[in-house]
Chain A
């Protein structure tokens, strides 16, 4: 089986792709999906570390991350839908109300 460092390298690559996605895209839904990608990369690192250390704590933390991610997605999508109802457009560039 592949060494854990390979899993960590893959996790780093996925996280970097997620960061680029968050910066590059204008569609809030795809930005959201990129955030999910980053969460997933962090989860993979947790499981790899847990496997290396021979403990299941990494897996337990990933379980909680999944639960929080589910709650976060539900609330985030509700916010996006509410913004869309208000503005009829959906681009993060328009949402500059809270910028100074």
Chain B
């Protein structure tokens, strides 16, 4: 064997040279390739490597809390998770990926696609919120699909929490995802997925409550998991907002109105501070804290009782006999009659050839001889029909508007209704017809086209009994707004000085209505100096009502406005009970609130108990939120 190999001739030398040159050439090509990447495109690849390893995560600023006047919490935050879509490597998702993500997070695939498309133009480093209030399943999906979907990440956010549920919900409003219009608005700093106040206080004072989000630059691995942190821009929390609302009064007002649809407003006429503001039926703002479920939304928007409407400031309805106070003031201020002016009430009166019935007509009697004071006490329609005829619509409308009706009060809540004080000009302009003299007679007792809000009634009556000083109702303390650099609304307190005698006469009338066996007797409370005026407003004409039988929607709306004490009142409360049929159901609501106001003033025991109860409720809610991940649509 050995010999055989040794005798072998060698292979030709050129073959080795060829091999060596071939190898060397290959290495030159390789080196050229590495040169191109490492020297030629160094910057570009360095950028990409940097983008790979870093991720910009927003640090969500907690929204300011909303507190009552004593610092008790109406709206707070609790930690939750949002699912983010990181877009550093690709602004758009392929349809398959988008669908996979939608399926994993149980979102509507078309919604995800739309969101991605909508946000394609935003800077790549800004992540997009795919889903708020991630459930345990969502979090598990993101964590277990880090490899498949590295573009998903979780962000700890501050979820809005309303520990008191439906209490003051209409007033507080709710938060939700910022709308596209808001994002597009000039000077807007909002990004899709940002949470903003949508209505109520949350909406009106959004700029105070909203914080400024920070940013964290972190190092991530290829699975998107955070392995280190580079820089942090701290989030600026939103400012807390203290309201003029007194939680104790609010709770009492909520309870007093109970299940009945309607509204309650309690004001301090000396300052315009709103002490309580209730609208029923209401809603649970916690359900809006993330995307509200379709079912819930449907239910809220189709409910005939309009839970999303803040009836205290938005429902404008005929005030009924409450309006007699305005007719009375007009009559006295214009000197049309004096307090000793007397009318005989046989139960009805014929004016302009039409018979106007008094509310006692159905009882088969009249009020007999009635003077000014008595007319207010027993709410004699015939007396005020007569005054209406004497005054005419122009004077009534002029005074009603000066006394705070027919225009927005300027409360710091969005979408306040202005109500309506009809006039011949209004008829001409809106109805394109002449004003009928007979309409004046109806207006004089608060029927016809007159429309007011419960807030306006409390505001106007409070202003009248305070001698014509109308303090703009407000929920945020002026000093606080100034300290936060926000200019309080322009509409200032208004003055329309009334003669002392006028104020005295109508006040006494309202005191009598409650305390002299008048129509407001159910507002009477021993030891309390409560005055007030009832109102029962027909929703439909009497004849239609008779034919309609006892249909709920044809039932009269019940009004009551009360205040205490009778001189220089500290609190004025209006209550509206929709379909309450009789004003006697509204009066006790007002009485309860005023009583609570004085009880609280007299002792500090009650609030402590209430606070205790609330703390318990709060802790229960917190527990619930942590244990059971919120699902859209579940109560």
Answer yes or no: are A and B bound together in one complex: no
Interface, chain B (partner A; CB < 8 A): none
Interface, chain A (partner B; CB < 8 A): none
